Amino acid sequence: MSQFVVQDIEAKRVTFHVGGVWGYANDKIIRKQITQAVRATSKKAHFHKPVLIECSDLDRMDSAGAVLIIKLHQELKEAGFEAIEVEGLTHDDNALIKNLMDTPDDEHEVYTPDTFMYHMARLGKFTVSTVGRILDGLGFFGLIAIAFLQGFVSKDGFRRRSIVRHMRESGVDALPIVALMAFLISIVLAYQGVIQLRAFGAEIYTINLTAISILREMGVLLTAILVAGRSGSAFAAEIGVMKLNEEVDAMQTMGLSPMRVLVLPRVIALIIVLPILTFFADIAGIVGSAFSVALLVGVPLEQFMAQMQGGITVWTFLVGLIKAPFFGLLIAFVGTYSGMSAQGSAENVGRMTTSAVVWSIFLVIFADALFSILFQMIGI
Amino acid sequence: MSNAKDTIIEVRGLTNKFGSHTVHDSMDLDVKRGEILGIVGASGSGKSVLLRSMLGLHPPTSGQILFGDKDITRLSKKEILALHDKWGVLFQGGALFSGLSVLENVQLGMLENYDLPLPDATKLAINKLKLVGYKQEDIHKNPSELSGGMIKRAALARAIALDPEILFLDEPTAGLDPLSADGFDDLVLELRQHLGTSIVIITHDLDTLVKVCDRVAVIIDKKIIVDTIANFRKHEHPWIQKYFNGNRMRAALSLKENVSAPEGKPDKPKTKES
């Protein structure tokens, strides 16, 4: 390993011979050698001697190397040496060092948080911004309503091709995954039900348990969560990037309303598509239940059908289905709103997309709770 | 010790095909050490593809690109990454990392590739930002808060952060107001003077070509021709004739002549050729 800094202690002075390539590539080694060299010479006996930093053996020096020369100078001064001179530098290298020494420091203090007050402030900021967002969101909801009503009144109506496109992407393309998920979840549900009800010899009621759970709640909730993840995020990201690329602005300057062109078709598509997806999820769920009950309890299909029909009514099914379009509306609303709120950078779009998924799932579950209360009051 | 050859980059037989469409057909190019080379060509002539090939971002269909003694087309991804300290690139839109401040952008190469302590990396970064004329009070801004001119300067500072041997600038003055564009040209000349960097500039800006470039490389008919502007004006190819003798070029050239008129000689008024 080459020596970049060699100290030479004489009676009348201390010399540091600097050589080799002083640059980024050798930064780590040179730092170590500087520390070693300074330590080796830092004795009270030598401090009064003049110091010479001799640089004529320097092969090459870049900015990082210049910083290191300055560092050597500083460390010697801090160690206690008083008279330090630098010799043997080329004109350019000298200029570089001088340039670096003239560079101002960064006055901005690096803020390291993690105090109680910092977290309190963060919570406060979050609360205020969330309330602001909610109010702003309500306004956006109003804009959707207006755009919807305009569709009935204006001559170009609704953008049917766009609606159908989104129905295909958010609905048809999601069918396999929704059906699969419903099928699997109902198997899990049935399995748990059988285990618990076995204790009472009541395994047969697993059929009622799964049918009611799936038709009333699980079918529609699972579908909504899946669509929120799939389409909610897609809406936010698509529209967010369009906003960043100034495509939304371009649209507006050409006389096209972004609400009617981008937002409304997506909203209408999800309102239509979610009940249909829920229906498929319900079927897949019941098939899964029949499958697992047949496997675990040995119930044949006819008995399954009889037991199920005895345990549910039309309303069991309709309760789930009624909620579906509302969930669709919520997911599309949150997704498009998040997209339209994007600004600044790619990082911002990412954050908006994440929050779109989280908020839409939260609102769906919240709405589900409200519906439960409502249905309970009505008596369905 | 870096290779002290006269030529810093040699391109030999570079061919780029996309399906059946040939963009470059066996191109040869030498970039001389210490020179400022302009690259021009009609839209679609493949200027960006050439740049990306030279940087190892796009594997060419065939050909060699020699950087010192290494052929970029033969290197592994890892080896290409290791070349990062040899070159600095100013991408067309600046390509600053949107999640980092300007200061952090410039420091990134220093901190990621070497174990520089933060205060030193900060000092070096501020030094480079000062060099390109970027204001000290704006160093903590995020790229989304910057104007076009500031973005270019910040991106240039990032490109020269590690004192590279060669600098690639992709349309550096595009979208800049005349004063900023002029300032940028001056900056490029200063960089070459102070740091001895070789510089390759892809540009449509005729003032940059005239003021800053030693030679110009024209991509034409899938090949590349390198010469001085003066010689290109006498070239027979119709597109080259139009480009180097057109009104805009002549305006740029007369501007340069007026500015750098030797002392004592009065400026002759230019008569318009009919």
Kindly list the residues of chain B whose beta carbon comes within 8 Å of any beta carbon in chain A: 1-2, 85, 98-99, 103, 110, 113-116, 120, 122-124, 126-128, 130-131, 136, 139-140, 142-144, 162-163, 194
Q: How far is CA A139 from the centre of its chain?
A: 25
Q: What is the tens place of the pLDDT at every residue in B81-90?
A: 888 889 999 9
Alpha helices in A42-109 (DSSP H): 63-79, 91-101
In percent, the amount of chain B with pLDDT more than 70 equals 92
* Residues B191, B180 contacting (CB under 8 angstroms): no
Residue B2 has pLDDT above 50, yes or no: no
Q: What is the pLDDT of residue A111?
A: 64
Q: What is the tens place of the pLDDT at every residue in B24-44?
A: 999 999 999 999 999 999 888
Cα(A166)–Cα(A235) distance, rounded to whole angstroms?
A: 10
Q: In the beta sheet, which residues pair with residue B100?
A: none
Distance from CA of B130 to the nearest CA of A (A): 8
Could B114 and A24 be called an inter-chain contact, meaning their C-beta atoms sit closer than 8 Å? yes
Could B99 and A347 be called an inter-chain contact, meaning their C-beta atoms sit closer than 8 Å? yes
Distance from CA of A71 to the nearest CA of B (A): 9
> Residues A220, A222, A228, A230: what is their CA dihedral angle, to the nearest 10 degrees?
-120
Average pLDDT for residues B176-183, to the nearest whole number?
88
Average pLDDT for residues B79-101, to the nearest whole number?
89
Distances A308 to A280, A316, A380 between C-alpha atoms, Å: 18, 11, 18
Q: What is the tens place of the pLDDT at every residue in A2-20?
A: 788 888 888 888 888 888 8
Average model confidence (pLDDT) across chain B: 87
Interface of A with B in 226-255 (CB under 8 A): none
Q: What is the pLDDT of residue A109?
A: 63
User: Which residues, including other chains, have CB under 8 Å from residue B59's CB and lie 6 or more apart?
Assistant: B53, B73
Amino acid identity, residue B161?
A: A
Please name the member of A27, A67, A346 whose beta carbon is closest to the beta carbon of B98: A346
Which candidate, B193, B240, B194, places its Cα nearest to that of B212?
A: B193
Interface probe for A, chosen from B111, B124, B142, B195 (most Cβ of A below 10 Å), is B124
User: Which residues, including other chains, have CB under 8 Å from residue B188's CB and lie 6 or more apart?
Assistant: B36, B169, B172, B199, B201, B208, B212
Give the angle subtended at the CA of A112 by the CAs of A106 and A116, to the nearest 5°. Answer: 150
Cα(A174)–Cα(A160) distance, rounded to whole angstroms?
A: 20
Q: What is the pLDDT of residue B44?
A: 86
Please name the member of A60, A95, A103 whose beta carbon is closest to the beta carbon of B127: A103
What's the N-to-C CA distance of chain B in angstroms?
56
Q: How confident is the model at residue B260 (pLDDT cuts 50, 70, 90)?
A: low
Q: What is the pLDDT of residue B153?
A: 92
Q: What is the pLDDT of residue A110?
A: 63
Could A344 and B142 be called an inter-chain contact, meaning their C-beta atoms sit closer than 8 Å? yes
Which candidate, B41, B244, B197, B214, places its Cα nearest to that of B27?
A: B41
Average pLDDT for residues B63-73, to the nearest whole number?
90
Q: Does A63 touch chain B (CB under 8 A)?
A: yes
Q: Which residues of A touch B123 (CB under 8 A)?
A: 67, 100, 103, 105
Q: Which two tokens stand for residue A50?
A: 């003049």
Q: What is the tens place of the pLDDT at every residue in B218-259?
A: 999 999 999 999 999 999 999 999 999 888 888 888 877 766
Cα(B59)–Cα(B66) distance, rounded to whole angstroms?
A: 13
pTM recorded for the entire structure: 0.78
Could B116 and A95 be called an inter-chain contact, meaning their C-beta atoms sit closer than 8 Å? no
Average pLDDT for residues B48-65, to the nearest whole number?
92
Distances A88 to A3, A54, A59, A114, B194 between C-alpha atoms, Å: 18, 6, 12, 49, 19
| Positions of chain A with pLDDT under 50 | none
Q: Indicate the DSSP class of residue B165.
A: S
